[in-house]
Amino acid sequence: MDIVLTLLAALVAAVALWDQFVTVFSTGGAGPLSQWGCQGLWRLLLRIHRRHPIHRTLKYAGPAMILLSILTWYLSLVLAVFLLLVAHPGSVINNVTTKLADPMETLYFTSTTLSSLGYGDWVPAGPPWTLVGTLATLVATIILTVSLSYVLSVVSAAVERRALASSVFAMGHSEQEIIRNANLQDPQGSLKNYLFSLSTTIDQQALRHLAYPILKYFHATKPELSPARAVLLLSDTVFLLDLQDHRSGSMQGVTQVLRSSIDNFGEFTRAGTELAEPQEAEKDRLAGIAATLGCTASRAEFDRAYDTYQTNRTRLLALCAEDGWSVG
């Protein structure tokens, strides 16, 4: 039994430390515990949200998940040290009476030691348990310090997400409005440079999503602050600009750069490519805008272009749905 508890303690500690290492230091995503826990909680909240909108509750989901991740890492270490000490009776004694600690007293010693309180009423019985206590305190301090750095990085990235959405919606709240405000045929008054800078911002956010998948759970209570909605709007605008510009080619460089950044955003955020709801109404809406702008000579020409664009647009629509927003 002692061997089983010791191995279990080693397993719990290894899983928790590996999960934190991957989540905090890896640029390829979260650790398994953090990923499964956050995904499960978010899916539950979205299921409730689709029946009864709870935007205000979703707003706190991201911060709550960060706190739960940190608590999981810390409490897993507490559990691991507790199991190790319980597996070896006599490892913890009373400082005055030298009485052996029972399981509850061992848990008390473990929690006070790892929290650096260390009241001194219960102490390690001697080597090697003094070393175990010292190492456990050191690891707990590292976990909390690294977690603080992680929180600051994620919060900073979450603020930049809102800035991206605001930058897009600052140009307009519809495809026609953005195209009209861009005034792309006038070199003096165009927003070409602004669009180029947006592509850089989108690329940066895509990479931050890859490094910090928990950003997906920082929900905006207003659609104009949702980066998923903003990137979808920009993507539709670029699609219409491509149609409008397919003969002259004057905007090819701008739209190509933006399209590449938008595609990376959809890919790096790991958005799905399937939607439960049909999007024919959205297709017809874009076709109407294209006809108004004189982008295509016929509906058949639009349909061919849309078929090529549909996969990428579906990924962005799925990302909006995962963000708690419906489109159309």
**207 and 297 both lie in a single domain:** yes
Q: Would you write out the chain's pLDDT as a tens digit for each of its 328 residues?
A: 688 989 999 999 999 999 999 999 887 778 888 989 999 999 999 999 989 999 999 999 999 999 999 999 999 999 999 999 999 988 898 888 888 989 999 999 999 999 877 777 888 888 888 999 999 999 999 999 999 999 999 999 999 999 999 999 988 888 888 887 765 555 544 567 777 888 889 999 988 888 898 998 999 988 889 999 999 999 999 898 888 765 555 566 778 888 899 988 888 776 655 554 557 888 888 888 888 877 766 788 888 888 888 888 888 888 898 888 877 6
**82 and 7 both lie in a single domain:** yes
pTM, entire model: 0.84
User: Pick from 114, 147, 180: which residue ends a domain?
Assistant: 147
**64 and 143 both lie in a single domain:** yes
**94 and 222 both lie in a single domain:** no
Asked whether the CA dihedral 78, 80, 81, 87 is positive or negative, the reply is: positive
- Structural domain including 60 reads 2-147
- Contacting residues for 53 by C-beta, under 8 A, at least 6 apart: none
**8 and 120 both lie in a single domain:** yes
Q: Per the domain annotation, does 164 fall within a domain?
A: no
Q: Residue 187, CB half-sphere, CA atoms under 13 Å: how many?
A: 1
Instruction: Tell me how many domains the chain contains.
Output: 2
Asked whether the CA dihedral 140, 142, 147, 152 is positive or negative, the reply is: positive
